[in-house]
Structure formats: structure tokens, C-alpha cells
Amino acid sequence: MITKDDYLVLATDYLFSGPSAAAAVIMGRSANGLVEWKDASGKELKAVEEAEIIKASETMDTTGSIIGSARAGG
């Protein structure tokens, strides 16, 4: 890791197994990535994911098909 403009930045790309593993490396301790990672407005990753799930479920009909999707022959 290197410091750049008051931020820690990985010197090379690295794929973590999940947000908690990434948070633990950055924080140097065990961490719950869903509450440690926040967007620019301060919203936790957990809240962002929950909002996306709600949004996705609202766009699906009862059969699990995406509403408004292209259908064969249509």
C-alpha cells in the first residue's frame, strides 16, 4: 500500500474475497465490510446493497422475469 493524497492505495490490483476482507486489510483488524465501507455521502455498503435489492425486486414480475424485457416473438 502507498499513501496518495491522505488515502491508502494498493500499489497493484488485488481481488478480495469480499468487502470484509478488503476492509480488514485496510484497517489492520477484523472488520465488517458492509458497515465499514461508505460512499461519498456516508451511506454504508449494506444500505446501498439493500436499496439495490429493493430496486431490482420492484422491476421483476411474479414469474421472476424482468418487466419490460424483450421476449421472443414480441
How far from chain centre, in Å, is Cα 7? 20
Q: What is the pTM of this model?
A: 0.65
pLDDT tens per residue, the chain (74 residues)?
888 898 878 899 999 999 999 999 989 999 999 999 999 999 999 999 999 998 888 777 655 666 655 554 44
Please give the biggest Cα pair distance in the chain: 56
| φ, ψ of residue 31 in degrees (nearest 5) | -155, 150
What pLDDT sits at residue 26? 87
Domain boundaries, the chain: 1-37, 39-69
- Output the nine-digit C-alpha cell for 26: 485496510
The Cα 74–Cα 69 span in angstroms is: 10
Residues with Cβ within 8 Å of residue 72, at least 6 apart in sequence:
none
What pLDDT sits at residue 74? 43
| Residue with grid cell 488485488, as numbered in its chain | 14
